[in-house]
Structure 1
Amino acid sequence: MGLSGFEFATATRILFGAGRLAEVPREVKALGGTRVLLVTGRDPTRAGPLRQGLDQLGLSSVTFAVEGEPTVELARDGTATAVSERCDAVVAFGGGSALDAGKAIAALAANGGDPLDYLEVVGRGLPLTKPSLPLVAIPTTAGTGSEVTRNAVLGVKDAQVKASLRSPLMLPRLAIVDPDLLAGAPSGVLAASGLDALSQLIEPFLSARANPLSDALAREGMVRSARSLRRAVLEDTDPATREDLALASLFGGLCLANSGLGAVHGFAAPVGGMFEAPHGAVCAALLPAVLEVNLRALRARAPAHPALPRFQEVAVLLTGRAEARAEDGISWVRELCQALRVPGLGRYGLTEADVPMLVTRAKAASSMKANPLPLTDEELTEIVVRSR
């Protein structure tokens, strides 16, 4: 495959390791923060020790809880809080929803205006021109990789879609990934977030924009996810398992931010906009059918495509068998989803009547542009029907 060059951008710094949460207050102070907006998940008490650490260094903080997946309205509320409380730094502590909300708020507080001024697809798509407030991103789940990406996904209820605020200026100044934060996570959260992370390793590896740097991270991440995700969900987590899941998630975020995604995430955005459905579980439901349809389409229409041998490499990495064929990798993914009890999209209210609208919206999603090849309406419809 010829390489015409690539860019690789990420958070200014990444600190990885057990116990590194304790370093956050000192790092916030080093970034010049004096009054912190602490963006959390629905239970702000989880961030209690972090808030105490900020207090001990003389940093005041205001908590902003994110109850569900972030919306335009929530971004407006959080930005208004940051501005009225005169916050000069943002610490986002939680799952992907809290991290995306934190990134959106840090950007909007610095740039002014409304989220719809900058939103892709359904907004005006204006560029952000000022750097975000200094942002420290701390994931407490192992799934989205949002701590190292340059976008924030927001739901737009009126349009029934999810769309991104996106800019290099939104990259966190610091990402702190502490595997200890996964201890005690519910098995359902580990399953959905872990399968989201796996899809964010596989899709960039097969992407039309794949590059050697993200490829190396994707390979390493797939091996770690394959050996640890099932055990973490069905048995328990130990330090080594948590480390594998946290690294797989981090690497997935680095990969998607620099090599794009594909049809799994192309569908996930409109599904999340049309139904109350958790992003990671949606990605998991879609992944087996997307892989199968993409493989068949490549063999039929682009037999010399560089992504084709990569399907076999994915199979080898996931199964651990050197002789594995492309189909074996897809079977492995399907069996994993069954073992982790991933529900079909029908669980969230998707009916046959919704399929044409979903296909139309997925075709317009930014993630679909990096799919290995354009899929036909019939192929896209088949993916949705088989994922129900």
Structure 2
Amino acid sequence: MAVNFSFATAGQIIFGNHSLEKVSNLVAGFGKKVVLVTGKNSSRAKELMAKFSPGTDTVIFNVPGEPTTGLIEGGVQLARQHASDVIVGFGGGSVIDSAKAIAAMATNKGELFDYLEVIGQGKPLTEKPLPCIAIPTTAGTGAEVTKNSVIKSPENNVKVSLRSNYMYPDIAVVDPVLTWSMPPALTASTGVDALTHLLETFVSNQANPFIDMLCREGLTRISRSLRKAYKDGSDKEAREDMAMASLLGGMALANVKLGAVHGFAGPMGGMFPIPHGAVCACLMSAVIEENIQALRENKLDSSKFDELAKILTGNEKAMSNDAAIWAAELVAELQIPSLSEFGLTKEDFPVLVEKAKVASSMKGNPVELTDEQLFRILERSL
């Protein structure tokens, strides 16, 4: 069969230990007026800011948690008032998503809800965003190379995306050294997020040979290094593997749809204070099992799951169901809390299923799942 696909990513990717040292010159290439988007602790951002060229006019915008519609609107207002030349996102996925959204909305007219998926009008961006430099300090989301920002709407109790081909960062600087200080719990949840990105895009109904190549490399690195990075944060090789896997996962998900794990993750994260990585961890094994069963029932090809199992386990004799077993054992070893510990109950299942069915990510699931199958996933994951 002929191969047809398209692929897009950040304008430039700079990867390697201590690559943060290059950021000052990169910023200077865009101008003097900078909005530096960072997390609730600004200490490392201030250290980075101190390295900027003399005369650089920088303001810091803090993102204390997952971005909300109100927070993004505040960042946009700051960027416009500052007449910013460039937006720099320096932090985890929430920070980088915020930076991308602020850069996009700073140049586009109207309200944020005009452009949001699902709960908004979903209008396309018409103006190119402000230049954006993305610098991840965690290894999981791959947000530095994606074209969307995940934003929570408190009014609607859901997470949705602002998405556009314009939103790829101009430059992604991936420095594994920045992840060395991540505590074990954060290493675990972000690492599973990266794993799920690679896993779901690998078996996606939109996958192609180029995406498969990225996923195989990323899955191999995670399978050998996530446990190591969790147990020993100073393991430099493991940290480099995880940073690379996160990057590859981001590149993959930016170009093909994900699946049922992320289909549930948006509404679940909007309704409950559950870290995104924990949602992915709790759902992953059950989604794998249900997808394999559904493919077989519909007499569809499930060989991708056989290959997935071989990559994850390192066993050439492994079969598809071994992938679900491996995933469950990993989550147990990483001591990730269950969904019920965050307040989720069976009474919430009907709303979650209805919201998940219309989620953008669900369109990439390898097979269409019935309501019964979706309910079963939640029951197994609780």
Query: Aligning the two structures, in what range does the TM-score lie when normalised by the shorter sequence?
Result: over 0.9
Distance 2:27 2:324 in 1: 43
CA contact (8 A) 2:233 2:239 kept: no
Q: What whole-Å deviation, never above 9, does each CA across 1:197-246 have from its counterpart, x for those lacking one?
A: 00000000000000111110100000100100011112333221111000
Distance 1:344 1:93, change over 3 A: same
Residue 18 of structure 1 pairs with residue 12 of structure 2: no
1:382 aligns to 2:380 (yes or no): no
**Secondary structure at the residue paired with 1:154?**
strand
Pick the aligned partner of 1:314 from 308, 321, 341: 308
Q: In the aligned structure 2, how far is the partner of 1:106 from the partner of 1:208?
A: 32
- Equivalent of 1:169 in 166, 188, 192: 166
CA distance in 2, matches of 1:238, 1:104: 34
Offset of 1:114 from its aligned partner?
1.4
Q: Determine the C-alpha separation between the residues in 1 that align with 2:3 and 2:211.
A: 15
Determine the structure 2 residue equivalent to 1:210: 207
Q: Hey, what does 1:297 align to over in structure 2?
A: 294
Residue 362 (structure 2) pairs with residue 365 (structure 1): no
Q: Secondary structure at the match of 2:149?
A: strand
TM-score w.r.t. length of structure 2: 0.98
- Residue identity matched to 1:324: A
Cα distance in 1 for partners of 2:227, 2:205 equals: 29
Tell me the TM-score normalized by structure 1: 0.97
String of CA shifts for 1:305-330, please: whole Å, max 9, x gaps: 3xx11101111111111111111121
1:99-114 pair list within 5 angstroms: 99-114=96-111
Q: How does 1:110-189 map to 2 (within 5 A)?
A: 110-189=107-186
| Matched residue SS, 1:61 | strand
AA aligned to 2:364 is: A
One-letter amino acid of the structure 2 residue matched with residue 43 of structure 1: N
Give the Cα separation in 1 of the matches to 2:43 and 2:209. 42
* 3-state DSSP of counterpart to 1:247: helix
2:257 aligns with 260
Match of 1:40 in 2: 38
Question: 1:25·1:57 contact (CA, 8 Å) conserved in 2?
Answer: no
Sequence identity percentage: 49
Whole-angstrom distance in 2 between the partners of 1:329 and 1:350: 26
Give structure 1 regions of 4+ aligned residues with deviation exceeding 6 angstroms. Answer: none
Residue 254 of structure 2 aligns to a residue whose secondary structure is helix
Aligned letter for 2:87? V
5+ residue gaps, structure 2, are none
- 1:260-302 alpha-carbon deviations (Å, 9 max, x no partner): 100000000000111111111111111010001001110111x
How far did 1:46 drift? 1.7
Q: Which residue of 2 aligns with 1:29?
A: 28
Distance 1:37 1:352 in 2: 44
Q: CA deviation at 1:5?
A: 1.3
Quick check: 2:295–2:367 contact (8 Å CA) kept in 1?
yes
Distance in 2, matches of 1:369 and 1:304, equals 17
- Counterparts of 1:354 and 1:17, CA distance in 2: 44
Which residue, out of 214, 219, 222, partners 1:222?
219
Gaps of 5+ in 1: none
How many residue pairs are counted as aligned between the two chains? 382
1:85 maps onto 2:87 in alignment: no
Partners of 1:103 and 1:331 in 2: CA distance: 37
Residue of structure 1 equivalent to 2:323:
329
Q: Is the contact between residue 33 and residue 134 of structure 1 (CA under 8 Å) also seen in structure 2? A: no
Q: Secondary structure at the match of 1:110?
A: coil
CA–CA distance in structure 1, aligned partners of residues 233 and 28 of structure 2: 36
